[in-house]
């Protein structure tokens, strides 16, 4: 098999999903997913299912959903990066794959917050970088635990 074909297959299989997910994260950092825009949906849904819910409770649940979204987005990115760095290796886990996955998660999270600083309906937040990083770190724990499971 031609080396160029193998490289293309590896790129498509391992790195294209990372790039596509980064695109999803970028899109979710636009005004479309600003707190003001997601609040109306959350408020309507919560009041439909819980008619007696207070405005304070709606605000709290909305905030928890939004921050959970950060963790989930970057958990997925962390897993995709780990998978890309692992590639077709027969080893199931290596600390360097996890280390570099977390480094890239931190860099992308910081860049994403920088991007949000230019979006009028969004705000940049160091706390969000920390939350995003937590998602990436959790992904590496999941990869490590998966490694232990595969060894058995």
pTM of the model: 0.90
Domain assignment present for residue 85? The answer is: yes
Which is nearest to 48 in space by CA: 38, 40, 56?
40
Terminal alpha carbon distance of the chain: 34
Domain assignment present for residue 55? The answer is: yes
Detail the DSSP E strand segments found in the chain: none
Domain assignment present for residue 152? The answer is: no
**Structural domain span for residue 117:** 3-147
Give 90-146 pLDDT, tens digit per residue. Answer: 888 899 999 999 999 999 999 999 999 999 999 999 999 999 999 999 999 999 998
Domain assignment present for residue 23? The answer is: yes
Q: Count how many domains the chain has.
A: 1
Contacts of residue 121, defined as CB under 8 A and 6 or more positions apart, other chains included, come to 31, 34, 35, 36, 37
Domain assignment present for residue 141? The answer is: yes
């Amino acid at each position: 098999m031609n080396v160029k074909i193998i490289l293309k297959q590896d790129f498509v299989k391992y790195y294209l999903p990372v790039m596509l997910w980064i695109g999803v994260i970028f899109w979710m950092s636009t005004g479309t997913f600003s707190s003001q825009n997601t609040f109306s949906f959350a408020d309507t849904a919560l009041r439909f299912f819980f008619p007696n819910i207070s405005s304070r409770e709606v605000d709290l649940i909305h905030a928890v959903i939004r921050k959970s979204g950060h963790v989930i987005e970057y958990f997925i990115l962390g897993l995709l990066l780990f998978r890309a760095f692992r590639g077709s290796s027969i080893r199931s886990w290596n600390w360097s794959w996890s280390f570099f996955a977390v480094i890239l998660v931190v860099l992308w999270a910081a860049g994403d917050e920088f991007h949000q600083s230019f979006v009028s309906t969004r705000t940049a937040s160091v706390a969000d970088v920390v939350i995003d990083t937590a998602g990436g770190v959790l992904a590496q724990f999941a990869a490590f635990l998966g490694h232990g499971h595969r060894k058995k």
